[in-house]
Copies of this chain bind each other. A is one copy, B any other.
Amino acid sequence: MTIPSGSALQGPVGVVGLGLIGGSIALDLRAGGVPVRALVHRQATAERARERGLADLVDTDPAVLADCRLVVLALPLDRLLDPSPELVAALPAEAVITDVGSVKAPVLERWQPLHPRFVASHPMAGTAQAGVEAGVRELFVDRPWVATPSPATDPDALAQVQALALALGARWLCCGAAAHDQAVALISHLPVLVSGALLLGADRGALAGAAAGAPELPELVRALASSGFADTTRVGGGNPELGTLMARNNREAVLAALGHYRQALEALEQEVRGGEWSALQAELEHCQQLRPQFL
Q: What residues make up the interface of A, taking CB atoms closer than 8 Å to B?
A: 124, 126, 143-144, 146, 173, 175-176, 178-180, 182-188, 190-206, 208-209, 214, 216-217, 220-226, 228-241, 243-244, 247-248, 251, 254-258, 260-265, 267-269, 272-273, 275, 277, 280-281, 283-288, 290-295
Chain B's nearest CB lies how many Å from the CB of A278? 8
- When the two chains form their complex, are residues B201 and A265 in contact, meaning their CB atoms are under 8 A apart? yes
- When the two chains form their complex, are residues A193 and B265 in contact, meaning their CB atoms are under 8 A apart? yes
Central interface residue in A204, A264, A284, by most chain B CB within 10 Å: A284
- When the two chains form their complex, are residues B205 and A198 in contact, meaning their CB atoms are under 8 A apart? no
Known: A272-B251, A294-B222. A183 touches B206 (CB 8 A): yes
Q: Tell me which of B222, B235, B256, B290 contacts A231 (CB under 8 A).
A: B235
- When the two chains form their complex, are residues B287 and A216 in contact, meaning their CB atoms are under 8 A apart? no
Q: Tell me which of B178, B195, B255 contacts A269 (CB under 8 A).
A: B255
- When the two chains form their complex, are residues A214 and B179 in contact, meaning their CB atoms are under 8 A apart? yes
- When the two chains form their complex, are residues B232 and A191 in contact, meaning their CB atoms are under 8 A apart? yes
Known: A202-B187, A206-B186. A225 touches B265 (CB 8 A): no
Q: Tell me which of B144, B221, B261 contacts A186 (CB under 8 A).
A: B221
Residues of chain B with a CB closer than 8 A to A228's CB: 188, 191-192, 234-235
- When the two chains form their complex, are residues A281 and B240 in contact, meaning their CB atoms are under 8 A apart? yes
Q: Is the interface of A mostly helix, strand, loop or mixed?
A: helix
Question: Complex Cα distance A211/B248, Å?
Answer: 26
- When the two chains form their complex, are residues A237 and B291 in contact, meaning their CB atoms are under 8 A apart? yes
- For this complex, 14 residue pairs linking A to B, each with C-beta atoms less than 8 Å apart, are A144-B224, A182-B205, A187-B202, A187-B225, A191-B232, A192-B228, A196-B287, A204-B263, A205-B257, A208-B260, A225-B295, A232-B232, A233-B294, A254-B272
Q: Tell me which of B204, B261, B277, B281 contacts A260 (CB under 8 A).
A: B204
- When the two chains form their complex, are residues A198 and B194 in contact, meaning their CB atoms are under 8 A apart? yes
Chain B's nearest CB lies how many Å from the CB of A241? 7
Residues of chain B with a CB closer than 8 A to A292's CB: 237
Known: A287-B196, A294-B229. A182 touches B222 (CB 8 A): no
- When the two chains form their complex, are residues B263 and A201 in contact, meaning their CB atoms are under 8 A apart? yes
- When the two chains form their complex, are residues A294 and B254 in contact, meaning their CB atoms are under 8 A apart? no
Chain B's nearest CB lies how many Å from the CB of A256? 7
